[in-house]
Each structure stands twice: as structure tokens, then as C-alpha cells.
Amino acid sequence: MFSRVLKSTQLCYVFRSNFSTSSKVDVKVAVLGAAGGIGQPLSLLLKQSPLISHLALYDIAHTPGVAADLSHIETRPKVTGHLGSEQLAECVKGAALVLIPAGVPRKPGMTRDDLFNTNASIVANLIDACAKNCPKAMIGIITNPVNSTVPIAAEVLKKRGVFDEKRLFGVTTLDVVRSNTFIAEGKGLDVTKVNCPVIGGHSGITIVPVISQCTPAVSFPQEERIKLSVRIQNAGTEVVEAKAGAGSATLSMAYAANKFARDLLEAMNGTEGKVQCAFVRSDETEAKYFATPVLLGKNGVEKNLGIGHLLDYERNLVTAAMPELIANIKKGEEFVAKNF
């Protein structure tokens, strides 16, 4: 009797493991710039994902070592390292998701736009390889200035005839992560339950936290709301200054990018209801790209959830963001028109 019960339990286990789908789908994820300050911790976090079967790491330096190190971790993804431009195609071939943190970070006193001259061509060349080798991949751009590198990526993909606006994301998750942290600290809330959308772009005044749409609902006197919004807009600079020349946010950015990637991979795998803010092609404002909460699905952006209701103060922040955001976007588009 006991052995019969045991057998049926075992059978049940075999049945469940054979028919559990989520962890068995082959999914290749590529990280470009994988040996950098963001790339290494991001790759470590991705290596822990049961949704990934192959983690392919590309950089112009150090990827053999990073890949060898990560490959000893007892988790599902196989890890491969790819070094230098001649190994880029192999890295991205067949990738379902490509995350790009390649390029230089800020030093104290620099704006994100100051990175344009170096990072524009890095992103354009990496995207060109994606267009040729994984034209259907979801692409998450971390490299700054995101307000320009996303339009650059879109224009390169358009030139190659493979642009799908649902599959291209500027990763702005760190702005949401910071907002959640600061609001929870200020209000004494459980941070794991706080979610504050951040819209607009990803630099200074183009970052627009929508505290009035935070869940749970929080209220601040106007002066405190302004202070908090300004802190969120300048939070990246807080880290740049604290690191005093040694770079910008890397660990919190890796956390944020992993959070974004996890939700996107789950949505691609059929989980419904995954929402993340991201800088995407948008008709919400006169800026062609604009961050809003988006519902993720099997094909990327399932639905843009839009800006929603704003307080007058928040609407004024959006208005103030527009000239810089539109100029950043135009600069990215013109770069590709001139150079590609």
C-alpha cells in the first residue's frame, strides 16, 4: 500500500517535470559590454535565471575570463565568451534578447550627452551586428545617452530593414528602482511593495517621476514632492560623485537591468501582466520616443499603457523635458543619417 502511494507520488512528479514548460524553452541572451562595470554583475544575475539556456558574453576585452568564471556556477545557462569584433556575430546569432551596456560611463562634471561622441558609434556598430544576425531579437539599450542611443538603434535597424518598434527598449528601470527606494525610505514603507512609474527620458530634467501614480498611494507636501523629484532626476549624479571618477552606477544598474530582463523573458514565455517602464517608440507626446509603463508580451511591447493622469506639477515637468528630449532624439537620428 505504502509503495503504491509512493509510486503514484513519483509518477505525479515525473508528469509535472516532463510537462513543466517554462524552464525548458531554449532562450539565448547576449550581453554586449559584458566585461564592464555593469556587464559583469548583470551577467552574474542573468546566470541565475532558469529562463535562459545560453548566456553569450561579448566585449572588446576580458570576456574569456568573465565567461570562464561564470561558467562554473551551478545554474542552467551555458556561458560562452566572445572577444573582439570578429566574434560579435557568433555572440548574437540566434539571441532572443540582447542587452547592451557597452560604452563609456560618466565622470564627475559630465552629462550623459557628453558620452555621445564615443557611445553613438559603439551602439550603432553593435546594433548593425544584431540586425544581421538576430533581426528578431528583443534589444535593451543601457548605454547612455539613452535618449539618443535608442533612436540611433532604431535608425540602424530601419536602414537594415528589420526595425520592429515593439522589440526595442531603452532600459530606464533604474529610475523606477530609485524612486521606489526613496519613496519607501521617506514614508517608512515596505520597499518590495512600492511601485512608482517614471516617464519621459533618461537624463536630468527629462526624467519625470510620477509620484501621484505610486502604489501604494503616497502624499507629500508640495515642497517635499519637488525635493524628491529632483533627487530622483539627479540620483545618477549622486553615484557618479560618490565614485569620484571611478564610474557611474553599476551594481544598482545591473539589478535594474536584470529586473527588466526577467519580466521581459517571462512575458516572452507567456506570463501575462508583466509591466515595466521603458523608453520606447511612442505617440504619447511630440517626442518620437518616450518612457511610459508598457505591458510586455511574447512579441515585446504588447500595449503602451500611456502617461495616465498627471498632477499640474508633473505635467509641468513633462513640458520642461520636451525640448531636451526632442533635441537628444534628433541628434541620434542625425548621427545615423550622416554616418551610416
- Please state the residue numbers annotated as binding site for substrate: 106, 112, 144, 178
Helix (H, G, I), strand (E, B) or coil at 32: strand
- Yes or no: say if 29 and 35 are a contact pair by the CB < 8 Å rule: no
Which residues participate in the annotated binding site?
33-39, 59, 106, 112, 119, 142-144, 178, 253
Q: Does 101 bind ligand NAI (CB under 6 A)?
A: yes
Residue closer to ligand NAI, measured from CB, 22 or 118: 118
Catalytic residue flag (residue 72): no
Q: Do residues 206 and 147 touch, judged by C-beta distance below 8 A?
A: yes
Which of 205-240 are b and which e, b meaning 16 or more Cβ less than 10 Å from the residue's Cβ?
bbbbbbbbbbeeebebeeeebeebbeebbebbbebb
Stretch 250-279: interaction string toward ligand NAI, x if CB under 6 A: x--x--------------------------
Q: How many CB atoms lie within 10 A of CB 195?
A: 16
Contact set for ligand NAI, span 124-163 (CB under 6 A): 126, 142-144, 146
Q: Helices in 20-144 by DSSP H: which ranges?
A: 39-46, 63-71, 88-92, 116-133
The answer to the question of residue 294 lying near ligand NAI (CB under 6 A) is no
Closest CB 233 distance from ligand NAI, rounded Å: 13
List binding-site positions for NAD(+).
33-39, 59, 119, 142-144, 253
State the catalytic residue, choosing from 62, 72, 82, 202.
202
Task: Give the cell for residue 174.
Answer: 533604474
| Burial class of residue 70 (count of CB atoms within 10 Å of its CB; 0-12, 13-18, 19+) | buried
Please identify which residue in 247, 284, 302, 311 interacts with ligand NAI, judged by CB under 6 A.
247
Considering only residues 159 through 218, tell me which ones interact with ligand NAI, judged by CB under 6 A.
171, 174, 202
Check if the beta carbon of residue 72 is closer than 8 Å to that of residue 48. no
Rule CB under 6 A: is residue 249 a binding residue for ligand NAI? yes
Question: CA quadruple 311, 313, 314, 318: dihedral positive or negative?
Answer: positive
Name the site residues for ligand NAI (rule: CB under 6 A).
Answer: 32-33, 35-39, 59-61, 101-106, 115, 119, 122, 126, 142-144, 146, 171, 174, 202, 247-250, 253
Residues recognised as catalytic: 202
